Amino acid sequence: MRSSKPRSRKNNNRNRPQQSGGNVPNRVFDSSGPEGKVRGTPQQIIDKYQQLARDAQLAGDRVATENFSQHAEHYLRMLGAAQKEIDERREAQERENRERQAERDRERAERDAERAAREAEQPQPQPQVQPAAVQSDSGVQPDVIDVIESADSGLVETPESKPRKPRPQRKPRAPRKPASEQSEAPEPASDAAE
């Protein structure tokens, strides 16, 4: 069975509207100009058509100059619109990021305020450390370790905080005989040889 709608033989992909923005500045285009095809990114095509317009102007061809200039303007407008859209997207993204960061900062401030309120409600035990008397005349300051040890600070004693015991002195070794003396020394006679 055939459908009542006639089938189109042309390629429908060419009739699709071009996606604006996206990757236009880096996308490669084929431009069919009066001098043949020009291929490249929009900026490369603009530069090529502007160069062709300058060459046509030097040759005295006003029509070709205007034609190349219009082709360059087309790609310049397309590039400008894509750049404007990219900038708008970037600004929107930055605005969203700033809003998210402000929300995080507000939440963090609220959590800190709640934590401070909870800590204020609970009484904190104060260690009662009484510093040793400082003699201001001689400039002698109290020993910090004595102050900490005298108060019950509740700290765990570590091996580093214990006083070190002096190590016992080792006996010095007898000096070694030189190798020449060891080989010349006579071996003790054994009783079995006699």
Give buried/exposed letters for 125-139 (b at 16+ CB in 10 A, else e): eeeeeeeeeeeeeee
Give the per-residue pLDDT at 152. Answer: 58
- Per-position pLDDT tens, the chain of length 194: 455 666 666 655 554 445 544 577 778 888 877 777 888 888 999 999 999 999 999 999 999 999 999 999 999 999 999 899 999 999 999 999 999 999 999 999 999 999 988 888 876 666 666 655 545 555 666 565 555 555 556 677 777 777 777 888 888 888 887 777 666 555 555 555 44
- Alpha-carbon gap, residue 121 to 112, rounded angstroms: 14
pTM of the model: 0.42
